[in-house]
Amino acid sequence: MTGAGLRVRDLDSFYGPAQILFEVGFDVAPGEVVALLGRNGAGKSTTLRSLMGLMARREGEISFRDTRIETLPTYEIARLGLGYVPEDRRIFTELTVEENLTVGQQRPREGVTTWTPERLYALFPNLAEMRRRPGGQMSGGEQQMLTIARTLMGNPSLILLDEPSEGLAPKIIEQMADAIVTMKREGLSIVISEQNLHFARLICDRAYILEKGRIRFQGSMAELEADEAVRNQYLAV
Amino acid sequence: MSLYVVQFLAGLANAASLFLAASGLSLIFGVTRIVNFAHGAFYMLGAYMAFTLTRTLDGAVGFWAAILIAAAVVAVMGALLEMVLLRRIYQAPELFQLLATFGVTLMVEDIVLLVWGPEDLVGPRAPGLEGAILVMGRPLPTYDILLIALGPIVLLGLWLLMHRTRWGVLVRAATQDRDMVAALGVNQKWLFTGVFTLGIFLAALGGALQIPRTAVSHHMDLSIIVEVFVITVIGGLGSITGAFLAAILVSLLNAFGILIFPSISLVLIFLCMAVVLVIRPWGFLGKPVVAGHKSAGVTVRPWQPWSREARIGAAIVVAIAALLPFWLGTYGLFVGAEMMIAVIFAVSLQFLMSTGGLDSFGHAAYFGLGAYGAAMAVKWLGAPMEAALLIAPLTGLVGALVFGWFCVRLSGVYFAMLTLAFAQILWSIAFQWVPVTGGDNGILGVWPSGWASSPATYYWLTLAVAVFSVAALRMLVFSPFGYALRGVRDSTLRASAIGFSRQRVQYAAFAVAGAFAGLAGALFAFLKGSIFPDALSIPQSVDGLVMVLLGGIATVSGSVVGAIVYTAASIWLMSQTDLSRLVLGGLIVVLVVAFPKGIVGSISDLVGGPLFRRRGAGPAGREAAVAGSEGA
């Protein structure tokens, strides 16, 4: 399965001499929403960072839209249409909402939705009310929306969301889920790393479970739903 | 009254060039996290280039074209430097970046000498602005009025560039979080090159604009870089508006300081900087620097006290050194004593940098304080050498206690810049306070006591003090104080959680290093029989850094080897070429880029022999420990 999707094989990743990921492999088909589940420290964030070329040392095979990206620098990976929303949001706190969006802006991409600030303000109405506000003066939920909007400005065909529901109020989480469903409807492929199974259940098609840097389970959301043993072994806290 | 008004306006005019240079430095630091020591060299190049171009281009249009073209040409040189050198060292510890750009400064100094000669050059007046207008009955050059206006115009221009263009927004974003900017698809490489080029353009423009006011000389680089460092420390690194405010403040202090204390106006600036740093450690508009870079000391492998074999080896080496006077002549012993002094100086600096994690760029201050302390004790108090050798470490210690109190409040690159600024202030005092220090003529007639006056006995004296110093500092590394020091270096947070105050522990280390450097300085004064302001200068500080780096920053033995090899090499180099700075600068750059571990570090990687073998983990284990502490 290649084409417009993402294909990961035998991905090993290191932090200094410590190996974090072991032979991780998964696929994301065009338009698919895939959950990467696992407990704290299982390697979810490291997997996403590895895809973006943000780990100092990673080995294995990563193909995105028929291009091998495991040796490319981060900015070239982003320019191929792989969007990344980090776990800690990393809003440019000195920059206004508008300016944050400007940084994310890339050329329109063929066969992919083109986002404009106006479309994003429609998707996240809260942001529309604070275009001139510095990112540092926004609430956590607003920052989370801005970081997703900022990445969408690059018109990605696949977006990596690292724990988008973390630390947010239930009401904001619902808004977030709505926005992600809209993105899916626009044809985006999405990889979501999550600890919150309930949130993943709302929006994902398939799931992979990571434990201690290895893939331990893969299947549809329905299969995971039916398999209480797996959930207890790898997800229950 | 009118005098003050005119001094005020002259001060504002001076601020323009300072602001241009400082804003460039700040801009470059903000994005690349490199403190560009070569900034002063580019400022100087801008002035020289403008001097040459104004001689070929005539008239008002020609003059202004020459200024702009000069700045543009120098900016292109800056871009080339960024692509060839800086791109290789963005990930290096900041000490290496400072050193490499200092190496470039040295090379530029000799190149300027080759191209333009040693004479000061007087440039033309700006056509149409040669005259002066009367302000309250006193003349003020018309050109100064232009400069006064220029500062705010450039500030406004930079603000518009940073806030109204996409490029500017990207630069501001990258100042905060470079990785995230890359993850959004921006090629940082060209962003960095662009910012560096703009910064150099501003510096060169600042230099070029000075030619109608002052003669162009090859001392411009170091004098401007110190002022620029002071300004960026006061204004806050990375803040352009801060640089503007601080440039005005420093220029006005200069203008009025000359009226009040003509000979030591720098003391005012020092006081001002001290006050600002106590109230706002990161300057007017600066922000605490997030520790993005590891300090050079953090890359070391775990240390252990020497094994029995290593002790015996060291004893044999010392014994051989002690027997040398039976073979060497007077000159050889003189060089030998100089090497021993270099060893003490280098080891004291290595203790501060590697064990303490504090990269001092102004260690010459304490060397010079010791030297001057000893020389003055002899000169003014008639003290014998023995007493002077006891006084010297105390003057070094006191100096370190005074300056260190400010320095240890900061860390990383702020610390390096501040130590440099203090050293430079001492240098100017030694240079300007002629009645006490003798100024440029120095203090002469500082000779050892009778028993130590033969070359052989003086050599033995320096050898004995060097062995004592190395042993004492090594013991300190493995004392409880040494462990506390390494603790706060590796993890300030954890060390403070078990009751160690970073500032207090590092303050003590700073004082210890200052005392040993003072001892080295005194031995130096008695070896030469005289002392000059050079002993306090930036090149003296950098000599120490290069010795430590050459030998390998991670080990005490590295500093010993580095000091001996470097002293021998520089004496030989002086005798071989007039372009010693070009060669030395090149050496520093190559060292930083190609052999960051130095002689002993590289050998121990290759050999892994008994002297170097360590129980358990090598460098990898160390990295694991660092990674672990970051991850936790």
Q: Which of B47, B109, B54, B36 is nearest to B74 (CA)?
A: B47
In DSSP notation, B566-586 reads: HHHHHHHHHHH-S-HHHHHHH
B49 occurs within a structural domain: yes
A16 touches chain B (CB under 8 A): yes
Burial of B179 (0-12, 13-18, 19+ CB in 10 A): middle
What is the nearest CA distance from B164 to chain A, expressed in angstroms?
Answer: 10
Q: What is the pLDDT of residue A35?
A: 95
Q: What is the pLDDT of residue A237?
A: 67
Q: Which residues of B touch A103 (CB under 8 A)?
A: 169-170, 173, 181, 184, 186
Q: What is the DSSP letter of B294?
A: P
What is the nearest CA distance from B174 to chain A, expressed in angstroms?
Answer: 9
Q: Which amino acid is at B65?
A: A
Least confident of B74-83, B273-282, B390-399, B583-592: B273-282
Instruction: Say whether B183 and A99 touch across the interface (CB within 8 A).
Output: no
- Which of A20, A76, A92, A106 is the best substitution to test chain B (most B C-beta atoms within 10 A)? A92
Query: For the residues B81-102, what does the mean pLDDT come to?
Result: 89
pLDDT tier at B293, thresholds 50, 70, 90 = very low
Nearest CB to B185; choose among A92, A95, A154: A154
Least confident of A132-146, A207-221, B167-181, B431-445: B431-445
Nearest CB to B184; choose among A54, A95, A104: A104
B121 occurs within a structural domain: yes
> How far does Cα B137 stand from its chain's mean position?
43
A17 touches chain B (CB under 8 A): yes
Q: Does the pLDDT value for residue B631 go beyond 50?
A: no
* Number of other residues whose CB lies within 10 A of the CB of residue B141: 20
Q: Which residues of B touch A101 (CB under 8 A)?
A: none
Least confident of A58-62, B32-36, B375-379, B410-414: B410-414
Write the CATH number for B523.
Answer: 1.10.3470
Instruction: Specify the pairing of strand A189-194 against strand A67-68.
Output: unpaired
Q: What are the two backbone dihedrals, phi and then psi, of residue A128, each rounded to the nearest 5 degrees?
A: -60, -30
A88 touches chain B (CB under 8 A): no
Q: Which residues of B touch A99 (CB under 8 A)?
A: 169, 172-173
Instruction: Say how far apart CA A48 and CA B576 lie, in whole Å.
Output: 57
Instruction: Say how far apart CA B382 and CA B90 lie, in whole Å.
Output: 52
pLDDT tier at B420, thresholds 50, 70, 90 = confident
Instruction: Say whether B184 and A54 touch across the interface (CB within 8 A).
Output: no
Instruction: Say how far apart CA B255 and CA B8 lie, in whole Å.
Output: 7
B484 occurs within a structural domain: yes
What is the nearest CA distance from A72 to chain B, expressed in angstroms?
Answer: 12
Crossing angle of the two packed helices B502-528 and B455-477, in degrees rounded to 10 = 170
B181 occurs within a structural domain: yes
Q: Does the pLDDT value for residue B222 go beyond 90?
A: no
What is the nearest CA distance from A227 to chain B, expressed in angstroms?
Answer: 33
Instruction: Say how far apart CA B252 and CA B495 lie, in whole Å.
Output: 43
Q: What is the pLDDT of residue B573?
A: 85
Instruction: Say whether B169 and A99 touch across the interface (CB within 8 A).
Output: yes
- Which of A20, A75, A77, A87 is the best substitution to test chain B (most B C-beta atoms within 10 A)? A75
Crossing angle of the two packed helices B580-594 and B94-116, in degrees rounded to 10 = 150
pLDDT tier at B617, thresholds 50, 70, 90 = very low
pLDDT digits (tens, 9 = 90+) for B561-580: 999 999 998 888 888 888 88
The CATH topology of domain A6-234 is Rossmann fold (3.40.50)
Q: What is the pLDDT of residue B610?
A: 41
Q: Which residues of B touch A94 (CB under 8 A)?
A: 172, 175-176
What is the nearest CA distance from B340 to chain A, expressed in angstroms?
Answer: 39
- Which residues, given as ranges, of chain A have pLDDT below 50? 1-2
Nearest CB to A102; choose among B166, B182, B623: B166
User: Which residue would you say has higher pLDDT here, B77 or B595?
Assistant: B77
Q: Give bridge partners of residue B132 from the DSSP assignment.
A: B141
Q: Which residues of A touch B186 (CB under 8 A)?
A: 75, 103
Q: Which residues of A touch B626 (CB under 8 A)?
A: 16
Nearest CB to B185; choose among A78, A92, A94: A78
Q: How many residues does chain B have?
A: 632
Winning range, highest mean pLDDT, from A57-66, B420-429, B550-559: A57-66
B206 neighbors B44 (Cβ within 8 angstroms) = no
Q: How far is CA B395 from CA A34, A134, B460, B506, in A?
A: 68, 50, 24, 19
Instruction: Say whether B184 and A78 touch across the interface (CB within 8 A).
Output: yes
Instruction: Say whether A94 and B176 touch across the interface (CB within 8 A).
Output: yes
ipTM of this complex: 0.92
B237 neighbors B283 (Cβ within 8 angstroms) = yes
Q: Where are the beta strands (DSSP E) in chain A?
A: 6-15, 18-28, 33-37, 57-64, 67-68, 82-85, 158-162, 189-194, 206-211, 214-220
Q: What is the pLDDT of residue A120?
A: 95
Spell out a b/e string for B79-111, using b for 16 or more CB atoms within 10 Å of the CB, else e: bebbbebbeebbebbbbbbbbbbbbbbbbbbbb
Burial of A184 (0-12, 13-18, 19+ CB in 10 A): middle
B284 occurs within a structural domain: no
Q: What is the pLDDT of residue B302?
A: 58
Q: What is the pLDDT of residue B99?
A: 87
Q: Which residues of A touch B628 (CB under 8 A)?
A: 18
Q: What are the two backbone dihedrals, phi and then psi, of residue B283, each rounded to the nearest 5 degrees?
A: 85, 175
Q: Which residues of A touch B170 (CB under 8 A)?
A: 103
In DSSP notation, B85-130 reads: IIHHHTTS-HHHHHHHHHHHHHHHHHHHHHHH-SS-B-PPPPTT--
User: Which residue would you say has higher pLDDT here, B522 or B269?
Assistant: B522
Query: For the residues B227-251, what does the mean pLDDT come to?
Result: 91
Q: What is the pLDDT of residue B608?
A: 53
Total structural domains in chain B? 2
* Number of other residues whose CB lies within 10 A of the CB of residue B621: 15
A131 neighbors A96 (Cβ within 8 angstroms) = yes
Q: Which residues of B touch A154 (CB under 8 A)?
A: 184-185
Which strand (E) or helix (H) includes residue B530? strand B530-531
Q: What percent of chain B has pLDDT over 70?
A: 93
A79 touches chain B (CB under 8 A): yes
Query: For the residues B324-330, what does the mean pLDDT come to?
Result: 88
B431 neighbors B446 (Cβ within 8 angstroms) = no
Query: For the residues B479-485, what does the mean pLDDT come to?
Result: 91
Q: Which residues contact B589 (CB under 8 A, 6 or more apart)?
A: B85, B100, B103, B104, B107
A109 touches chain B (CB under 8 A): no
What is the nearest CA distance from A2 to chain B, expressed in angstroms?
Answer: 23
Q: Does the pLDDT value for residue B506 go beyond 90?
A: yes
Q: Which residues of B touch A56 (CB under 8 A)?
A: none
Q: Does the pLDDT value for residue B611 go beyond 60?
A: no
Determine what percent of chain A falls in helix, strand and coil, rounding each to the nearest 5.
35, 30, 35
A170 touches chain B (CB under 8 A): no
pLDDT digits (tens, 9 = 90+) for B259-287: 877 666 667 777 788 788 778 888 888 87
Q: Does the pLDDT value for residue B607 go beyond 70?
A: no
| Chain B interface residues (partner A, CB cutoff 8 A) | 166, 169-170, 172-173, 175-177, 179-188, 620-621, 623-624, 626-628, 631
Q: Provide the residue range defining the domain that includes B222.
A: 2-11+32-227
Nearest-Cα residue of chain B relative to residue A18: B624
B364 neighbors B544 (Cβ within 8 angstroms) = yes
Nearest-Cα residue of chain B relative to residue A17: B624
Nearest CB to B186; choose among A75, A94, A100: A75
pLDDT averaged over every residue in chain B: 87
Q: Which residues of B touch A54 (CB under 8 A)?
A: 179, 183
What is the nearest CA distance from A14 to chain B, expressed in angstroms?
Answer: 10
pLDDT tier at B73, thresholds 50, 70, 90 = very high
Q: What is the pLDDT of residue B330?
A: 87
Which strand (E) or helix (H) includes residue B336? helix B330-350
Q: What is the DSSP letter of A61?
A: E
Q: Which region, left, alpha or beta, applies to residue B359 given φ > 0 means left and ψ of -120 to 50 means alpha?
A: beta
Label each residue of B22-44 as H, E or C. Answer: HHHHHHHHHHHCCCCCCHHHHHH
* Number of other residues whose CB lies within 10 A of the CB of residue B291: 11
Q: What is the pLDDT of residue B623?
A: 36
Q: Which residues of A touch B169 (CB under 8 A)?
A: 95, 99, 102-103
Instruction: Say whether B177 and A90 touch across the interface (CB within 8 A).
Output: yes
Same structural domain for residues B199 and B78? yes
Q: Which residues of B touch A18 (CB under 8 A)?
A: 624, 627-628
Q: Which residues of B touch A75 (CB under 8 A)?
A: 182-183, 185-188
